[in-house]
Structures are given as structure tokens and as C-alpha cells.
Amino acid sequence: MEGVDHLAHERNKSEFDVDAMKIVWAGSPHAFVVSDRISKLVASDPGFRKDNRSTLSRKELFKNTLRKAAYAWKTIIDLHLSEEEAAKLRFYVDEPAFTDVHWGMFIPAIKGQGTEEQQQKWLPLAYKMQIIGCYAQTELGHGSNVQGLETTATFDPQTDEFIIHSPTLTSSKWWPGGLGKVATHAIAYALLIVGGREQGVHGFIVQLRSLEDHSPLPGMTVGDIGMKFGNGAYNAMDNGVLRFDHVRIPRNQMLMRVSQVTCEGKYKQSDVPRQLVYGAMLYVRQTIVADASCALSRAVCIATRYSAVRRQFGSQNGGPETQVIDYKTQQSRLFPLLASAYAFRFVGEWLKWLYADVTQRLQANDFSTLPEAHACTAGLKSLTTTATADGIEECRKLCGGHGYLCSSGLPELFAVYVPACTYEGENTVLLLQVARFLMKTVSQLGSSKKPVGTIAYMTRVEHLMQCRCGVQRGFAELSADLVEAAVAHCQLLVVSKFIEKLQQEIPGKGVKQQLEVLCNIYALFLLHKHQGDFLSTGCITPKHAALANDELRSLYSQVRPNAIALVDAFNYTDHYLGSILGCYDGNVYPKLYEAAWKDPLNESVVPDGYHQYIRPLLKQEIRTARL
């Protein structure tokens, strides 16, 4: 039944103002208007079609991605879109591409680590896409351990140049997105050697390919690293390999905000901390947290709508079966994920503020909050991406068998999303950074240096005041426990930022009440999941635990009538969702049926290969056939 809203009865049940919730989700009325307009623009333009992605070969997929990126750029120019609108357009085009890294890493690295002069030279070219950049840090043999990178940048005072070189196979750059086939330039990270002395890892702007015919410049061996997890999905991205053979670049192409090399060959450090070399990672981790709520909400939207459409068992007197969303087990798996999507949205908003704050301070040479900003971005990146990747997979299972179809949108979403647990800092490695920060704080408790900001609570935890161990002592031995402590610290951040959000004025009938329910679900679900830890540490009694579980069940019942409206508030178009199971009108079965016939296998009734393989089998001619 085309045109009928099969979820209308669900929408009629909702107890709050969905339009007002859409604005809360978007962040502001302005953000909502921009997001709404651009998502509809992309959805209505056949040039951004994506429903055939999973059936394309790698080469076709990649070429189609190039076409879309060029088309997106033309649209941005033709419509005079602002930077904010252009970023939204790329977001809703929803295809991993070299442009993500160009805008998301190459430009921020120059902004954060380049001098004024370098920014003036390179940024206008990058903004106009007259050069396309990638971020070449990771090597075949070294990813997490940045200080272990082997690529060298040796200063030659005779020519005022750096010689960039890959001395070993393991020093080959390996993974950078956009590097394989597209990027003309890279921010390449290399061990700086000046006057025979190693000065640690620094970033360099290196041209990779000719701006005339795109051929690699002399001394560069460059290509794609090959197929990745999932058909379609992240294979639209040309993650690359690069080897340098004594490539020479001018001295002024070392990013010199943090430290400089003079033409006489003197290495000088500014009074900004060395850690600013890692600045681009701080920025991207913050954007990844914001993105986690998008990916999780997308999966949750699909699973929630489909759970309201899908019916199994419970038919009474020949009436309809029960909607699976009414099963308590389905609710107990789905609603904590719905709550998490909202929780990550708000902690992402807060992290954006924290990042803006630390950036402003750094510009004024106040470096005091950098360690906290590093711990927050690293920890929340780890927590939200792990939960989102697991959550997408849970949503797939919540959709039963149909969740396994590519047309559900969930396999591709998972395949594209799951590397977020690894890139931009492997999640366990990042939690160890948080643990180190926490242990440092503990070791300073009782001194004159009082913890402030997100760690201020530590002074109130009595038994921490008794800890007097050095940071390093026992760290490695206890690292598995410390990682759990780091997760707990980050969960505390998520919960407290959700609570702070609720303390703000939130307009719209019933909106605040719904958010309170979701906040309580998020917190109580955590308590439920980690009941053992809470009980064993005496933080709660068994009675508290039982009360919390009762409350959780009651909260699920409160969410139930509002579930569809709560996912409608994400305001996703059917194009962006890319899922038959999650389509707005809930008309799932005819769409699934129709889509099946479009599969390339159904182009012929009798398949290719029948005469060669099936018929000889059936006719028992297999032994004589030439296979």
C-alpha cells in the first residue's frame, strides 16, 4: 500500500512535541534548518543515489565515489553553500571518500601545526581543492606507537631541504585514506634528523603527485592497500601505501608551529608543548564522538521502526500477532541503545565546547587544560565508538534475519563504522592514555595541585585519597583493571553531561520529560550491567540493585509509546537511512519483495553457469565435464 503510513498509529501515541525534540537533537533551530534543507536536497538529487553500492565492483565503486565527490563539489559551488552547509552535504552524501580526510585531517593539521605563513600559503589552495590532501602518519610496522615511526626527514643545510626517506619495508606509509589514488599532497609524519641528532616525530607537507597529469613525483612509490572488510562500504576509500626514496622538499614545508629548523640547521622549540604535534588527533577524536551519535541513532532508528512493523507470535482469535517491540526482551536490548544515542549526542556537544575552549586557551599560550582535553577526547572516542559498533551489530540482530540483508542498511553501516574502533587511536591504547591521566591525578591528590574540571570528583572519593603509589609502579601489571577504571571515568562523564543538559531550559511539550526517562535508562542500564562491580565495592546494596532493575523495567514501559517519535526526532531521510527496514512509512514487505527482484542474480531466470555446472551435476555428467 504505497503512500500509506504504516506507522501512523505509533506516531499518534507519542506524548511529546516531536518538532521541538528535532531541534534539541540538531543542537539549535538554525542547525535544524540547515540540516533539514541539505538532507532533503541530497535525498532528492539522483546524482547522490547510493542504493546500488553493494553490487558494484571495487573499480566501479571507486569511480562512482570520485564522480559523487566531484558532483558534490559542483553543487557546493553552484549553490554558494557556506562551510557549514557544505560539511552537511558531505555528511548526507554518506559515502566514505578522500574528501573526509582532506577536510577532516589535512586542513586541520595545517591549521593546528602550521605557522601563519604556512597557513596563508597552503590553506587557500586546500579550501579551493586545488590540492587534495591526506594524513600520512601510520606505517606498515607502526600505528599506535607514533614515536616508533621509522620514516626519516633529514635536514640538508647545503640545499635548505629535508630528505624524506623510507629506510625499511616496515616504514612504508600504510593506511592513509585518500593516499592510494587521489591525494596530491600529504602531511607525512617522520623522524626529524638535524645535524645528525634525532629530534622526534614531526609533520611535513609533501607533494605526492603531479598537478598536471597526476603521476607520482620522482622518488614516490604509491598505491592502494587493497580490499577491506565488507562489500562496498569502506572500499570506496583508497587507503594507501607510500614509500619515499630520498624525496627532497623545501625546509619551509616542515610544519613549524611547535618547533622550527633554521636554514643554519638549528633545531628550536617554541614554548608550546610538544604534544601539539598530536593536535590533529585531538580534533578528529572530538568529531568522531559527535559522529558516533549519528551512526548509532541511524541503526536505532532502523531497528525501532522495524520492531514496530514486525510481528511474531501472540495472535488472539485470529487477530494480528504481537509487534516485536512489545516484547520486554526486545525493549531491554533496544531502549538502552536509544538512550545511548541521545547520551552520545549531548556528550559530543559538550566535547565540541571543550575542544573550542582548549583551542582558545592554546592560542593564548595557556596549556593547562591540554592533558584533560586529551584524556576526554581519547576516552570518549574509545567509549562511544566501541558502544556504537556493538550497538549497530545488536540492532542488526534485533531485526532478525532481514537485518542480514544489505537492503536493511545495517551490514554496510557496521562495515563502514567498525574501523572507528581502530583508526584515530586504537580504543584500548586510548583508554590506557586515560588511565595514565587518572593515575597521575591520583598520585597528586593531597598535594597543593587540586584536581579541577572533569576530575574534580576525585577529591571526594575517600579511598583514592589513601593512594600514594607512583604513576608507573604496577601500571603495566594492572593495566587491564586500569582500562576498566578509565571506561568507568568516561561513563561518568557521559552521565553527568546528560544530567547537565537536563538542567538547561528545554522548550516543547513533554520534551524534557522524555529526555529524563532516557537519561535514567542510560544510567540505570549501566548500573544493571555492572551490578557486580557496584555490589562488590559496596557502592550499592542488593536492595538498591533490585530497585534499580524494577525502575528500569518501568522506564522501558514509559518509552514504549514514544519510541517511534523519539527516532523520528533524528529527522533522517529515507535516503540517508538507506534501509528498507527503517523506511519512514514502515511499508517494509512490498519494498523488500520488490528490491529482491532488482538483484543482478535475478536478471536471468536460469543463472549463468547452469550449463557448465548445474546441469552436468543433475545429469550425473560431472565426471566427464571439463570444469
* One of 113, 287, 330, 571 touching ligand LSKO443Y (CB under 6 A): 287
Does residue number 382 form part of the binding site for ligand FAD (CB under 6 A)? no
Least distance in angstroms from the C-beta of 270 to ligand LSKO443Y: 15
Plot region of 230 (φ>0 → left; ψ -120 to 50 → alpha; else → beta): left
Task: Answer yes or no whether residue 449 interacts with ligand LSKO443Y by CB under 6 A.
Answer: no
Tell the smallest beta-carbon distance from residue 146 to ligand LSKO443Y (Å).
4
In the complex, minimum distance from the CB of residue 579 to ligand FAD, in angstroms, rounded to a whole number: 22
Quick one: cell of 597? 527482484
Residue 462, classed as helix, strand or coil, is helix
Contacts of 432 (CB under 8 A, 6+ apart): 479, 482, 483, 486
Q: Contact, 239 vs 175, CB < 8 A?
A: yes
Residue 170 binding ligand FAD, by CB under 6 A: no
Q: What span, in angstroms and rounded, lies between the C-alpha atoms of 450 and 442?
A: 10
By CB under 6 A, residue 374 contacts ligand LSKO443Y: yes
Residue 177 as a binder of ligand LSKO443Y (CB under 6 A): the answer is yes
Question: Whole-number minimum distance, CB 95 to ligand FAD, in Å?
Answer: 14
Q: Which residues contact 500 (CB under 8 A, 6 or more apart)?
A: 350
Question: What is the pairing mode between strands 152-156 and 185-194?
Answer: parallel
What DSSP assignment string belongs to 313-371?
S---TT----BGGGSHHHHHHHHHHHHHHHHHHHHHHHHHHHHHHHHHHHHTT--TTHH
Is 190 a binding residue for ligand LSKO443Y by CB under 6 A? The answer is no
Please pick, from the candidates 51, 426, 484, 574, the single residue that binds ligand FAD as defined by CB under 6 A.
426
**Residue with Cβ nearer ligand LSKO443Y (129 or 502):** 129
278 binds, among ligand FAD, ligand LSKO443Y, none (CB under 5 to 8 A by kind): ligand LSKO443Y
Residue of 180, 379, 411, 419 interacting with ligand FAD (CB under 6 A)? 419
The residue (of 405 and 487) whose beta carbon lies closer to ligand FAD is 487
Neighbours of 618 (CB within 10 A): 10
Query: Minimum Å distance from CB 581 to ligand LSKO443Y?
Result: 22
- Asked if 576 is part of the footprint of ligand LSKO443Y (rule: CB under 6 A), the reply reads no
Is 138 annotated among the ligand-binding residues?
A: yes
Which residues carry out catalysis? 424
Closest CA to 435 of 398, 411, 404, 469: 469
235 counts as binding ligand LSKO443Y under rule CB under 6 A: no
Decide if 71 contacts 47 (C-beta within 8 A): yes
Residue closest to ligand FAD (Cβ):
143
Q: Which of 25, 135, 162, 570 binds ligand LSKO443Y (CB under 6 A)?
A: 135
Q: Determine if 253 is a binding residue for ligand FAD (CB under 6 A).
A: no
SS (HEC) of 411-432: HHHHHHHHHHHCCCCCHHHHHH
Q: At what angle do helices 511-529 and 479-502 cross, to 10 degrees?
A: 160
Residues 517 and 566 sit within 8 Å (Cβ to Cβ): no
Q: Give the residue closest to ligand LSKO443Y by C-beta.
A: 104
148/590 with CB nearer ligand FAD: 148
Residue 203 labelled as part of a binding site: no
551 interacts with ligand FAD by CB under 6 A = no
Query: Segment 60-119, which members bind ligand FAD (CB under 6 A)?
Result: 101
- A 10 A CB-CB count for 539 gives 11
Using rule CB under 6 A, residue 279 touches ligand FAD: no
Give the C-alpha separation, 483 to 341, whole Å: 23
Using CB distances below 5 to 8 A depending on partner kind, what does residue 282 bind out of ligand LSKO443Y, ligand FAD, none? Answer: ligand LSKO443Y
144 binds ligand LSKO443Y (CB under 6 A): yes
Shortest distance, position 143 Cβ to ligand LSKO443Y, whole Å: 6
Instruction: Examine residue 240 and tell whether it contacts ligand FAD (CB under 6 A).
Output: no
Report the alpha-carbon distance of residue 280 to residue 135 in Å, rounded: 10
| Residue from the set 278, 306, 344, 570 that interacts with ligand LSKO443Y by CB under 6 A | 278
Per DSSP, the three-state class of 42 is helix
Cα 556 from Cα 495, distance rounded (Å): 18
Q: CA distances (Å), 607 to each of 570, 598, 611, 626, in order?
A: 42, 14, 9, 19
Out of 104, 112, 203, 582, the residue judged to bind ligand LSKO443Y by CB under 6 A = 104
Complex with ligand FAD: residue 145 or 360, whichever CB lies closer = 145
Q: CB under 5 to 8 A by kind: which of ligand LSKO443Y, ligand FAD, none does 96 bind?
A: ligand LSKO443Y
Helix then strand then coil, in percent of the chain rounded to 5, is: 60, 10, 30
Rounded Cα–Cα distance for residues 253 and 162 (Å) = 9
Extract the annotated binding site for FAD. 138, 177
Interaction site with ligand LSKO443Y (CB under 6 A): 96, 100-101, 104-105, 135, 137-138, 144-147, 177, 275, 278, 281-282, 284, 287-288, 291, 370-371, 374, 416, 420, 423-425, 429, 433, 436
Extract the annotated binding site. 138, 177
Interaction site with ligand FAD (CB under 6 A): 101, 135-138, 143-144, 175-177, 234, 239, 419, 422-423, 425-426, 428-429, 432
